[in-house]
Structure 1
């Protein structure tokens, strides 16, 4: 268990890339920690929730920005209370820069899980929770690889178990994931 000073760590990637499992295992490595699931803010909307789909419009993007803003504010509040916060959400494409600018706390680390799309497709097929509908694995993976700024540490976890992925993250965190 790590006992260093508090930090904020964003774990992002496409759906079924292993974010939830890895973020939970990573947060368990810290003495005082929070696993903040950004999607909770989307699911809290009871009426008129807008799902982000390919070619999303203004309303969908506004709700996505609200979700990111709420996650950032919540992460900062937990950080100020002395927690290491592992934020887990799909934050890809140009909006990664927006999310990063919303986090005020430092140190702040960005970890992007980027397993091969064929591995993601197998994981998606094997899980009960289904994330893909209007989006395809290949379509979302294309946004990740071709539209997301190369910020932080990118981890190809295709051949790694969740525990091995956490070890890889912790080994490379200081050198590759820290935003300055």
Structure 2
């Protein structure tokens, strides 16, 4: 699937997309497919950046471990550094990461201050996400089921919320592109 160049801001520089959802929602798959539709697209996968830490890695934990939180913030900072660099070079950037709070979303806003940010929350529901999680052999969602409710409480009303439970990846991307304006966070709408 390809498409014409994205609508842009300030002299033809494209926005940054942030695709989020609970584990098993389809973030990485959809984000990569969305980036592939752009004439010049980049997919920044937050989980891959976490894997760059080869010694001393403290993965996210439901208990909000202080070191894990510090590494999450470091990860987000690096996502934004990469996004800004690729964007300045004329690439459309799609970042995927679990973002469950307004504070975390505000960190992206602060680190990409003049960048139109488009938020897409994939919301297939926990039952579908659990099935996908098991099918891909990861089985990590069990510890993170509370994130679905946390995301709704914190982020509902921000960006584009898309129920992708019955949609193929291509159908999901088509809907996202067709509703790009809804995904654009309010402060960036012209």
What are the superposed Cα offsets for residues 21-73 of structure 1, whole Å, 9 maximum, x if unpaired? 11111111110110111222211111111111112122111110000011011
Taking the aligned partners of 2:114 and 2:95, their CA distance within structure 1 comes to 13
TM-score (norm 1): 0.90
Q: Aligned with 1:52: secondary structure?
A: coil
Q: Give 2:167's aligned residue.
A: 160
CA RMSD of aligned residues (A): 1.6
Q: Give 1:112's aligned residue.
A: 121
Q: Give 1:64's aligned residue.
A: 72
Q: Give 2:4's aligned residue.
A: 2
The CA deviation at 1:104 is 3.3
TM-score (norm 2): 0.86
Taking the aligned partners of 2:16 and 2:140, their CA distance within structure 1 comes to 25
Q: Tell me the number of residue pairs that the alignment of Structure 1 and Structure 2 aligns.
A: 177
Shift in alpha-carbon separation, 1:20–1:153, aligned structure 2, 3 A: same
1:140 pairs, out of 136, 143, 147, with 147
Taking the aligned partners of 2:26 and 2:49, their CA distance within structure 1 comes to 20
Taking the aligned partners of 1:150 and 1:54, their CA distance within structure 2 comes to 24
Q: Give 1:170's aligned residue.
A: 177
1:127 pairs, out of 127, 132, 136, with 136
Unaligned runs of 5+ in 2: 9-13
The CA deviation at 1:2 is 2.3
1:80 pairs, out of 52, 73, 88, with 88
**Contact 1:91–1:99 (8 Å) recurs in 2:** no
What are the superposed Cα offsets for residues 128-161 of structure 1, whole Å, 9 maximum, x if unpaired? 344336x24x222222222335311111111211
